[in-house]
Structure 1
Amino acid sequence: MNFSELGLSKPLLEAIARAKYDSPYPIQVQAIPSILKQRDLFGIAPTGSGKTASYILPILQRMQDKPQNKGRMIPILVLVPTRELASQVAEVTENFARFLPRKVKALAVFGGVSINPQMMKIYGTDILIATPGRLLDLLSKNSLNLNQVEVLVLDEADKVLNMGFKEEVDQILAQLPKKRQNILFSATSEESVGGLIEAMLQDPVKISAAPDTVSPDLINQYAYRVPMEKKGPFLRHLINSGDWSQILVFASSIRAANNIVTKLNKNGIDALAFHGDKSQGARTEALHRFKNGKTRVLVATDLAARGIDIKFLPLVINYELPRSPKDYVHRIGRTGRAGAEGEAISLIAEEDLHHFKIIQKKMKKHVQLRSIDDIEF
């Protein structure tokens, strides 16, 4: 199917073509026509399934029929759990809106940075992408008004709840007009966000991403049995032995991520850390450098990495295993996206063996455990 079959306008199709989007992902095929009809929608869509474009494209089309915003009344509100996801949604929006006849102003607001510049930029904003806490901060300072919100999007609603934002979301919902279109996406099950579905949606269209959009079956998985004291040297060996242009390494803690980066840099490997203790500016710069190939290795923690969305990421390395099998699948799902193959390598210490067996059982996929005895490094 082509984007032209989804009911999108000619100017928007031109913007899609210039953005080099060839064909819609399954979630976009399902979502775009319903959102254009102004139906409430609930979608189960993991990271990497193309869900951002599935709601941004029809919203941009809706904005083409609206007069230019000349105030602080926000017509479109997108709530997200993390600042990285906020920046990512704003970037996608700007890319698609760049060539449209009616200019659309999108703005991402989040905590961890000064609020004053964000307050100054809100005027004339059509699409506000916000984390719940920072949005409430801005509301408390009368920097914007939500009385005229026409569309509310809650992206990664399950993550919003897991991060403890339920009370903040309830406060925000109380300030919105009752008559509006609501769009809610969750990366996991309907049950995980059941309360929000009841509070937000009226007779929603329910959709889900194709089951193989982010699938372990599309990822070549490898595991090596590595003693803890040899993980650092073996990681450096892996990085130096391949020709991967981008490598995302997962660590279990901020401290571990920093230590890994320090040792990689000392051994001549360009790497940056990506975690919650970094300033927003440092995180944005690290992600920018990684996406643009200026830094080859990014070492991240699970929470910070939620907002990382890179097409055709060739390799993910689990320096340490995550706590849950679900997080493991999310990690390796950073590669092998939307039908593209990828590789995932896990370094398994003696104390990890039992946990790795549980992960394989839950994933329903066996990963052969290889020895490093015959590998020189």
Structure 2
Amino acid sequence: MSFTTLGLSPDLLKILSNQNFALPTPIQEKAIPAILNRQDVLGIAKTGSGKTASYVLPILMNLQKAAELKNRHVHVLVLVPTRELAEQVKAVFQAFSKGLAVPVKTTAVFGGVSINPQMTALQNVNVLVATPGRLLDLVDSNAVHLGSIETLVLDEADKMLNLGFKDEVDRIISLLPVKRQNILLSATLNADLRLIHQVLLTDPEVIVIESEEASLAQIKQVAYIVSDEKKGPFLRYLINHHEMKQVLIFASAVHTADAIVNKLRKNNFDAKAIHSKKSQGARTETLYLFKSGKLRILVATDLMGRGIDINELPFVVNYELPRSPKDYIHRIGRTGRAGSIGEAISLVSPDELSHFEVIQKKMGKEVELIDSGSVLK
């Protein structure tokens, strides 16, 4: 199937061609026609499967048909859990909007930065991408009104509910028109998501893309048994031994991420950390440097990792194991994307061995486990 069969306009097809989008992904094949038909949609597919474009393209198409687009109210609201994802979604809307017959203005609002420039940027906005807390700040300041929302998108809904945004999301939904299109997208379907699905969606098109196992086939996984005190030196050995030109390292805590970076920099490695304690400006700059290949090593916590989307990232390293097997799959899924081969390396301390067995069981895949001492001999 090609994009030409999905009901998109010639303008959007031309934009897709110019950006080298050849074939739709499975989630795009199913979601685009449903959203074009103004159906509610529940889409479950892993991160990196093309979920963002699956709703951006048909929403832009529907906006092209909207005669009332010229008014000053927001038509589309996209709720996301993190600032990084807000910027990423905004960038996708803007990239696909260039050259459309009817101009579409998209902006993103999120906390951690001054609210005043965001208030100014809201003028004549058609698509608003927002984190829940900052959106409610703007609502309370009468800077934005949600009475004209025609389409609501909850992106990364599983993470949003896990992070405790449920009360804020409930309040936002209470401010929206009853008659609207709802699009709920998630990497997983858990109990909280089933509940909000039942409340929010009306006769939805349910799309479940079971592709995590297939994507794992693109990722070479290996784990090393290494004590906590030797993880730093062994990490530096791996970076040199594999001649890693670009590597994403996951840590489970902010202070660990900073400690890893400090040690790497003391040993003349080009490294930066990205986590919730960094300013928005620092996070944006660091992410730009890494994505553009100007930064060799990025150390991230799990939450920040959700905004890192690179088609050909060669290496991911788990300096520590995450608590959740799903987070493990999400972490290593940063590599091996868009048909490219990637390598995921885990540093497993003796205390983590039983937990790593649980991760492998949940993943349905056995990972080669090597004693780091034998490697260094």
Q: Same fold (TM over 0.5)?
A: yes
1:162 CA drift (Å): 0.8
Which amino acid counterpart does residue 142 of structure 1 have in structure 2?
A: N
Correspondence for 1:217: 217
CA distance in 1, matches of 2:327, 2:180: 34
| Correspondence 1:23-38 to 2 at 5 A | 23-38=23-38
After the TM superposition, which segments of 4 or more aligned residues of structure 1 sit over 4 Å from their partners?
A: 67-72
1:268 CA drift (Å): 1.4
Is the counterpart of residue 89 in structure 1 residue 89 in structure 2?
Answer: yes
**Structure 1 runs not aligned, ≥5 long:** none
1:11 CA drift (Å): 0.3
1:337 CA drift (Å): 2.6
SS in 2 for 1:74: coil
1:124 CA drift (Å): 0.8
1:258 CA drift (Å): 0.3
CA distance in 1, matches of 2:170, 2:331: 30
Correspondence for 2:174: 174
Correspondence for 2:242: 242
Correspondence for 1:115: 115
Tell which deviates more after alignment, 331-340 or 1-10.
331-340
Correspondence for 1:227: 227
CA distance in 2, matches of 1:89, 1:372: 40
CA distance in 1, matches of 2:273, 2:150: 39
CA distance in 1, matches of 2:49, 2:35: 17
1:39 CA drift (Å): 0.6
Shift in alpha-carbon separation, 1:371–1:303, aligned structure 2, 3 A: same
CA contact (8 A) 1:72 1:144 kept: no
CA offsets per residue over residues 28-68 of structure 1, 9 Å max, x none? 00100110111111111221110000000001111222358
SS in 1 for 2:56: helix
CA distance in 2, matches of 1:64, 1:293: 36
CA contact (8 A) 1:76 1:128 kept: yes
Correspondence for 1:337: 337
Correspondence for 1:159: 159
1:17 CA drift (Å): 1.1
Is the counterpart of residue 49 in structure 1 residue 13 in structure 2?
Answer: no
Tell which deviates more after alignment, 351-360 or 184-193.
184-193
Correspondence for 2:365: 365
Shift in alpha-carbon separation, 1:8–1:244, aligned structure 2, 3 A: farther
CA distance in 2, matches of 1:81, 1:87: 11
1:191 CA drift (Å): 3.5
SS in 2 for 1:207: strand
Tell which deviates more after alignment, 242-251 or 72-81.
242-251
Which amino acid counterpart does residue 325 of structure 1 have in structure 2?
A: P
1:90 CA drift (Å): 0.5
CA distance in 2, matches of 1:94, 1:68: 20
Which amino acid counterpart does residue 31 of structure 1 have in structure 2?
A: A
Is the counterpart of residue 276 in structure 1 residue 283 in structure 2?
Answer: no
SS in 2 for 1:78: strand
1:341 CA drift (Å): 2.4
Which amino acid counterpart does residue 54 of structure 2 have in structure 1?
A: S
Which amino acid counterpart does residue 230 of structure 1 have in structure 2?
A: K
Which amino acid counterpart does residue 33 of structure 2 have in structure 1?
A: P
CA contact (8 A) 2:45 2:211 kept: no
CA contact (8 A) 1:25 1:338 kept: no
Correspondence for 1:77: 77
CA contact (8 A) 1:72 1:143 kept: no
1:295 CA drift (Å): 0.2
CA distance in 2, matches of 1:103, 1:243: 46
How many residues are treated as equivalent by the alignment?
A: 377
CA offsets per residue over residues 243-293 of structure 1, 9 Å max, x none? 443211001111110011111111111111010100111111111100000
1:101 CA drift (Å): 2.3
CA distance in 2, matches of 1:331, 1:95: 26
Shift in alpha-carbon separation, 1:66–1:72, aligned structure 2, 3 A: same
Aligned-pair RMSD on alpha carbons? Answer: 1.6
Which amino acid counterpart does residue 313 of structure 2 have in structure 1?
A: L
Is the counterpart of residue 128 in structure 1 residue 121 in structure 2?
Answer: no
Which amino acid counterpart does residue 271 of structure 1 have in structure 2?
A: A
1:371 CA drift (Å): 2.2
Counting aligned pairs with the same residue, the percent is 56
CA distance in 2, matches of 1:67, 1:106: 18
Correspondence for 1:10: 10
CA offsets per residue over residues 128-168 of structure 1, 9 Å max, x none? 00011111000001111111111111111111111111111
CA contact (8 A) 1:72 1:145 kept: no
Shift in alpha-carbon separation, 1:329–1:133, aligned structure 2, 3 A: same
Is the counterpart of residue 296 in structure 1 residue 300 in structure 2?
Answer: no
CA distance in 1, matches of 2:329, 2:214: 9
CA distance in 2, matches of 1:210, 1:203: 22
**Structure 2 runs not aligned, ≥5 long:** none
1:296 CA drift (Å): 1.1
